[in-house]
Chain A
């Protein structure tokens, strides 16, 4: 893989196998087997033959309708979902903020969750403990809330802490899936600045967002996914414009057939 690439995706396909039948229990399995029925499954192709290269230091935006496969792509880049076909090569340390809150435990305080999240992502205890204050400061919660159980947080406060944890990991590659949707204007400003700072350090960022202005604002490249395939890849304003057109009229761009 060329040195300058952060991520290379080669002919990636990901399929989910869903049991159509009721609950997946041993009881049902035995019942079905005794009646000689096979398990009925449905296969959902979330990503179909996607190929893409992403150089270091780029900020990629991903747009697409609900169910287009954006979160699935992010999870596979993070190494959480294994590819069904093809392969992904990632060069660098990854920090993920996939959906809100990296499995935050609602009964624990924000501070405890920060420590837990840091340890899970492979930091040592000293590293994460030296950073908790910095993270708490960046999240800038109202008085003392960082030591309150997370269940008492508003969704914006939750999002603030999660984002602060993700950026504090000093990742080479930062994956943000709808991470900025709950923050208020002032935190949005702050997080945009933080991301620009990360870009300046040649870190790679991938942002999934339905707020198209965010994509336009932050990214230097955008892709549009539709039903698991790559529809368009280019400058954010062009991609967003075509995507908006598609949302209104429902037509895919004319050059789509060639891709």
Chain B
């Protein structure tokens, strides 16, 4: 090797490709490249939606209608199982299921779309070098934009509910709503982190996303969506915290349904799961992503 070797860190144009073990590439340049191409992820998510709904005017409507109808079905099931309830309690239950389901679906679509983003990106991955984490990231952005319009739907249901049943306990606007952006960010980051794990697994085992769909269903039943977080007492409450979406979903319920702030325990849980899944998922994904092109 000649003596004039420049350091690739300082000469942006000089790139050295060398063999790697399953270890991380230099992280600073990776994150810089990632940040530099964030517009690509945003555009990709927009175009993916466009491609998907290009021929259907009702695509966007369906995105809202689908969870809304499901929420109604779950509501009926829950009410029937409990043997009916008073009407003002009914609307509370419906609202809880609705916002829980919308939030859960946000995480679910981050994870399931992200899981296939690498295997579905075949051509792009074989023909262009870029930080691969941009593909799951783009799925997370898509999921976020699909989640946003469900919030007005929830609010509309609550407003109508309060008007029809004035005795219901659901609060109107409260200051605790200020926690909502934080909670949504935690859901997005947790979803993104977990999608990195499953996207990597899906490269090695192509049936991961099939298993994932069963797994997500069980996960939904294990989460405080169809039941209330306060139904758990004592050590049973650990169930809430070993579930990556447990703390965010019970915070969601506190803020939206009860109009109170999340408990400190829930906040710690939200942050721990968000950072934990981002770090673990990021390590798992980035340390293996140079292998993807060979395995696709």
Binding site for B on A (CB under 8 A): 1-3, 10, 16-17, 23-27, 29, 75-76, 78-94, 96, 98-99, 101-105, 107-108, 112, 115-117, 119-122, 124-125, 149, 172
Among A89, A99, A107, the residue within 8 A (CB) of B51 is: A107
B139 to chain A, nearest CB (A): 15
B124 neighbours in A (Cβ, 8 Å): 102-103, 120
Beyond A75-B293, A87-B16, A103-B127, list 4 extra A-B contacts (CB 8 Å). A82-B20, A108-B50, A117-B128, A120-B40
B51 and A115 form a contact (CB under 8 A): no
Chain B proximity of A15: nearest CB distance (Å): 9
The winner among A24, A27, A120, A121 for most chain B CB atoms within 10 A is: A120
Judge whether B47 and A119 touch: CB under 8 Å: no
Of the listed residues A84, A89, A108, A124, the one surrounded by the most CB atoms of chain B closer than 10 A to its CB is A89
CA distance A25 to B79 in the complex (A): 40
Q: A115-B43, A116-B44 are known contacts. Are A82 and B13 too (CB-CB below 8 A)?
A: no
CB of B294 within 8 Å of the partner chain: yes
Residue B231 at the chain A interface, CB threshold 8 Å: no
> Which 6 residue pairs spanning A and B have beta carbons closest together?
A103-B124, A107-B51, A103-B123, A119-B40, A25-B207, A26-B205
Residues facing A in B13-62 (CB within 8 A) are 13-20, 33, 36-37, 39-40, 43-44, 47, 50-52, 54
Question: B208 an interface residue at 8 Å Cβ cutoff?
Answer: yes
Task: Report 17 cross-chain contacts, Cβ distance below 8 Å, ordered by A residue.
Answer: A29-B205, A75-B126, A78-B128, A79-B15, A80-B129, A80-B293, A82-B18, A87-B17, A88-B18, A89-B14, A90-B15, A90-B17, A98-B127, A105-B47, A119-B40, A121-B130, A122-B36
A81 touches B294 (CB 8 A): yes
Given contact pairs A98-B126, A102-B124, A79 touches B40 in the complex (Cβ within 8 A): no
Distance from B30 Cβ to chain A, minimum over Cβ atoms (Å): 12
CB distance from A237 to the nearest CB of B (A): 31
The residue among A23, A25, A94, A99 with the most chain B CB atoms within 10 A of its own CB is: A25
Q: Is the CB of A124 within 8 A of B290?
A: no
Q: Who on chain B is nearest to A84 by CB? A: B19
Which chain A positions have C-beta within 8 A of B6?
1
Residue B211 CB within 8 A of the other chain: yes
**Chain B contacts for A149, CB-based, 8 A:** 54
Structural contact, B126 and A80, CB atoms closer than 8 A: yes
Q: When the two chains form their complex, are residues A99 and B36 in contact, meaning their CB atoms are under 8 A apart?
A: no
Complex interface: chain B residues within 8 A of A89 (CB): 14-17
Asked if residues B294 and A120 are in contact (CB atoms below 8 Å), the reply is no
Q: How far is the CA of A79 from the CA of B167 in the complex (A)?
A: 65
Distance to closest chain B CB from A106 (angstroms): 8
Check if B66 is an interface residue, CB within 8 A of chain A: no
Task: Give which listed residue, B2, B39, B207, B293, contacts A124 with CB less than 8 A.
Answer: B39
**Which residue of the partner chain, among B17, B33, B36, B127, contacts A83 with CB atoms under 8 Å?**
B17
Choose one: B2, B15, B17, B50; the contact of A2 (CB below 8 Å).
Answer: B2
Closest to A13 in B: B19
Residue of A nearest to B18 (CB): A87
B residues less than 8 Å from A121 (CB atoms) = 128, 130
Among the listed B13, B16, B126, B290, which residue makes an inter-chain contact with A93, where contact means beta carbons less than 8 Å apart?
A: B13
Return chain A residues, CB-CB under 8 Å to B39.
119, 124-125
Q: Which residue of chain B has its CB nearest to the CB of A172?
A: B13
Q: Closest chain A residue to B201 by CB distance?
A: A26
Cα distance A121–B20 in the bound complex, in angstroms: 23
Interchain CB contact under 8 A, A3 and B129:
no
- Quote the shortest CB–CB distance from A231 to chain B (angstroms): 24
Is residue B206 within 8 Å, beta carbon to beta carbon, of the partner chain? Answer: yes
Given contacts A24-B204, A125-B39, contact A96 B127 (CB under 8 A): yes
B190 CB to nearest chain A CB (Å):
23
Q: Are A91 and B14 in contact (CB under 8 A)?
A: yes
- CB pair A107–B128 under 8 Å, yes or no, is no
**C-alpha gap A60/B211 in the complex (Å):** 48
Across the interface, do A85 and B123 meet the contact criterion of CB distance under 8 Å?
Answer: no
Could you tell me if A116 and B19 are in contact, using CB atoms closer than 8 angstroms? Answer: no
Q: With A83-B19, A120-B37 in contact, do A78 and B129 touch (Cβ < 8 Å)?
A: yes
**Bound complex: CA A116 to CA B138 (Å):** 12
A107 to chain B, nearest CB (A): 4
The interface residues of chain A lying within 8 Å CB-to-CB of B171 are none
- Shortest B206–chain A CB gap in Å is 5
CA distance A82 to B2 in the complex (A): 22
Min CB gap B293→A, angstroms: 5
Across-interface contacts of A83 in B (CB, < 8 A): 17-19
**Contact assessment for B18 and A1 in the assembled complex, using a CB-CB cutoff below 8 Å:** no
Are A26 and B50 within 8 A (Cβ)? Answer: no
Please give the distance in Å from B115's CB to the nearest CB on chain A.
13
Check if A25 sits within 8 Å of B37, measured CB to CB: no
Nearest B-chain residue to A14, judged by Cβ? B294
Question: Quick check: B2 and A103 within 8 Å, CB to CB?
Answer: no
Known: A26-B211, A122-B33. A17 touches B14 (CB 8 A): no
Known: A2-B2, A17-B294, A112-B50. A79 touches B208 (CB 8 A): no
User: Distance in Å from the Cβ of A125 to the closest Cβ of chain B?
Assistant: 5
